[in-house]
Amino acid sequence: MKLRAPPAGFVELQRAIPGLALDIGYASNANFTGAPLPGYGAAGAWLLERAATSLGELHAELGTRGLGLVCFDAYRPRRATLAMVAWAERTGHRHLLDEGFISATSWHNHGVAVDVSLVELATGARLDLGTAWDTFTPASRPENAAGAALERRTLLRAMMTAHGWKGATTEWWHFRFLTADTLPRDVPYGAEEAEETQ
């Protein structure tokens, strides 16, 4: 399915940030539900412009260390968030809601949150940060790693924080850009998917 243009005020990250790698798990079976989520009929990553600008500056700074970002998720259509909740309740994974890994509201819906990790720019190889993205266990807490994985988590968190992002307490990969006056949206990535309703 064709990727639609982002809504007003949003930017497409791969166009805005040269060298940014994308691996949009919710557009495939490679996510915790085992199936593509509604709203991800095409693999894309959008953010509000001010959040995208900050992420681009961070990516450029990482480049001076020979590193870059891989993005697993950015803006998330509201329908996808609701589908996650429905999946948890339907499949006996209600504990993921209770533990804060899945929520009925998300800053991703506002276009101000990202799920990211680190890559080597020269090779494109992903660095080991201790767990895979979307591993919903205590091992995903930012501090629950050792050795090089903990050092990399600490570096990623410190640099994101320095650029205006706040890390989650449960997931080392999740960050929210600290800004005000944002609204949740339900614009799908796929051009043929049902339009946002008010």
CATH of domain 10-122+135-177: 3.30.1380.10
pLDDT digits (tens, 9 = 90+) for 150-195: 999 999 999 999 999 999 999 999 999 999 999 999 999 999 999 9
Give 80-106 as a DSSP string: HHHHHHHHHHHTT-HHHHHTTSS-SS-
pLDDT digits (tens, 9 = 90+) for 57-116: 999 999 999 999 999 999 999 999 999 999 999 999 999 999 999 999 999 999 999 999
Q: What is the pLDDT of residue 192?
A: 97
E strand residue ranges, 3-51: 10-12, 21-22, 46-48
Total-model pTM: 0.97
* Alpha-carbon span 151 to 145, nearest angstrom: 9
Half-sphere exposure of 174 (CA within 13 A, CB side): 19
